[in-house]
Chain A
Amino acid sequence: MDSDIILVLVIGTALAFDFTNGFHDTANVVATSISTGAARPSVAIGFAAILNFVGAFISISVAATVAKDVVDAEIITPTIVFAGLIGAIAWNLITWYFGLPSSSSHALIGGVVGSAVAAVGFDAVITEGLVGKVLIPAVVAPILAFLVAGAAIGLSYRVVGKQRPGIVTRGYQYGQILSGGLLALAHGTNDAQKTMGIITLALIANGSLGADADPPFWVIASAATAIALGTYSGGWRIIKTTGTRIIKMDAAQGFSAQGAGATVILASTHFGFPLSTTHVINGGIMGSGAAKRLSAVRWGVAGNIFVAWLLTLPAAAAIGGLTYGFTRIFGTGALGPILVTLMALSLVVAAFARRAQRGAPVTAAGG
């Protein structure tokens, strides 16, 4: 009975996390289309929400990595998964409050690893999966997006450089509807799967699924719905960072940045690498800016992203570990997770209320 209550808490928390992931990442997906005038905000956000939903159904490779390749599912309990989720949500809230552009995906994996280490020790961590499928792709993917976007925009300017600006701008604006759609599809594919993976891990830990099971359809559908609703709900206040604060961009740059981001995310998803979509998209935006003029990139914002990137895994791991320790004060039953849920809800409400009084920072944070 206690185990089922914890499982319900995990599923509810994971879907809430997925919703906030979509909410945060709306900025990443639609900012370039909006800032270059390729699409109206309402249209871009609606389109992104639909394609995030569709994207969640096209692959389960990343979900399998999160469920089976990062921590040992056979020695994990639902409470460990719960504590990891709380670690991720707490770190996301902290970075949101202070305006740091962090990665929800790294926070999620860091939180689960931290709580697993606190509960079982380092034996619970699958080093090969963590390093090979999470940490190395986390470094490679944004750099790859940077280089691909830079090379792509360099070629584009050579091809269309002597054309009339009007037709070039209009052409790339139409193109951005396509590249923005692909980016939304890629985002839904990679990010929704992390939630699917976490719920699947909890189901395996609870004994509701076999150790090698794939995510059930209801898990895929609910994760897809949560991320799509989160995307539609907006993140209006954080749209400005990725669109204009990193670089001022033209439609060709927007097209190459979105195209590079989408291809890197889709290719990585195919091999089951759970990426920070935020970092990849920002890598693409910076690459398309730097190729035109190095000084066009606001390196201070890029530096903040780098610092948040370094901090996220260890910080979320520490909070996940502490949360697990706190739940154990109340034994192995559901009381600890219930108390943590109530405390987390209170903190979320307090943080939102305080932030609403002060006015939210304009930042990009997310997957």
Chain B
Amino acid sequence: MIATIVHTDELLQTIAASVIAGIGVTFAFSVGIWGAGQFIELSRNERPVAATAALAMGGLALACVAASIVIGIIVMTSK
């Protein structure tokens, strides 16, 4: 009875999606900023390989952010 009223499945999925997307996207975006910061810092110190690697990692993280948003909107509109 209580489980029927509470919509446990939908509530748990909402919690899981919010935690994964909310924390994941912010984390990935922060890695993007870290990558940009490291790239500038390492380039200044004339370490081009490490700088490029940091930039690539940051770019990958930002691509993950973009992909998460696109997937989220597709899921929203597909119901």
Chain A interfacial positions (CB closer than 8 Å to B): 58-59, 61, 127-128, 131-133, 136-137, 140-141, 144-145, 147-149, 151-153, 155-156, 159-160, 163-164, 167-168, 171-172, 175, 178, 182, 189, 252, 255-256, 259-260, 263-264, 266-273
Most buried by A among B5, B15, B30, B40: B30
Contact B11 A264 (CB under 8 A): no
Do residues B11 and A263 form an inter-chain contact, with CB atoms below 8 A? no
- Knowing A58-B73, A149-B22, say if A155 contacts B11 (CB, 8 Å): no
Instruction: Determine if A171 and B77 form an interchain contact, defined as CB atoms under 8 angstroms apart.
Output: no
Asked whether A160 lies within 8 Å of B33 as measured between CB atoms, the reply is yes
**Which of A137, A151, A267, A269 contacts B23 (CB under 8 A)?**
A151
List chain B positions with a Cβ less than 8 A from chain A.
Answer: 4-7, 10-11, 13-15, 17-19, 21-23, 25-27, 29-34, 36-38, 40-41, 65, 69, 72-73, 75-77, 79
Using known A-B contacts A133-B7, A153-B26, A159-B30, determine if residue A267 contacts B14 with beta carbons closer than 8 Å.
yes
Is the CB–CB distance between A156 and B76 below 8 Å? no
Check A263/B22 contact, CB under 8 A, given A58-B76, A270-B75. Answer: yes
Which single residue of chain A is at the shortest CB-CB distance from B28? A159
On whether the beta carbons of A271 and B14 are closer than 8 Å, the reply is yes
Q: A61-B79, A159-B34, A160-B34 are in contact. Are A264 and B22 (CB under 8 A)?
A: yes
Assess whether A264 is in contact with B30, with CB atoms less than 8 Å apart: no
Q: Which of A131, A156, A163 contacts B37 (CB 8 A)?
A: A163
A167 to B54, CA, bound (A): 15
Q: Is the CB of A259 within 8 A of B26?
A: yes
| B27: chain A residues within 8 A (beta carbon) | 152, 155-156, 159
Contact A128 B18 (CB under 8 A): no
Interface of A is mostly: helix
- Shortest B7–chain A CB gap in Å is 4
Asked if B26 contacts A269 (CB within 8 A), the reply is: no
Chain B residues with Cβ under 8 A from A159's Cβ? Answer: 27, 30-31, 33-34
Report how far A186 CA is from B79 CA in the complex, Å. 15
Top-10 shortest CB links A-B: A171-B33, A163-B37, A152-B26, A148-B22, A159-B30, A263-B22, A267-B17, A271-B10, A156-B30, A263-B21
Determine the distance from Cα of A156 to Cα of B23 in the docked complex, in whole angstroms.
9
Q: Apart from A172-B33, A263-B18, what are 17 other A-B pairs with CB-CB below 8 Å?
A: A58-B76, A58-B77, A59-B79, A144-B19, A148-B19, A152-B26, A155-B26, A159-B30, A160-B30, A163-B41, A167-B36, A175-B29, A263-B72, A266-B72, A268-B14, A269-B76, A270-B76
Beyond A151-B23, A263-B25, is A168–B18 a contact (Cβ under 8 Å)? no
Q: How far is the CA of A271 from the CA of B40 in the complex (A)?
A: 43
Q: Report the separation of the CA atoms of residues A167 and B40 in the bound assembly, to the nearest whole angstrom.
A: 10
Q: Which residue of B lies closest to A175 (CB)?
A: B29
Residues in chain B near residue A178, CB distance under 8 A: 65, 69
Residues of A within 8 A of B37 (CB): 160, 163-164, 167-168, 171
Complex interface: chain B residues within 8 A of A59 (CB): 76-77, 79
Smallest distance from the beta carbon of B53 to chain A beta carbons, Å?
16
CA A141 to CA B11, docked complex, whole Å: 10
Specify which of B13, B21, B33 lies most central, judged by the most chain A CB atoms within 10 Å of its CB: B33
Known: A58-B76, A159-B31, A267-B18. A182 touches B7 (CB 8 A): no
Q: Are B14 and A273 in contact (CB under 8 A)?
A: yes
Q: Tell me the complex Cα distance, A358–B72, Å.
A: 45
CA distance A140 to B14 in the complex (A): 10
Taken together as a complex, chains A and B put the C-alpha atoms of A151 and B17 apart, in Å, by 14
Contact among B22, B31, B40, B79 with A260 in the assembled complex (CB-CB below 8 Å): B22
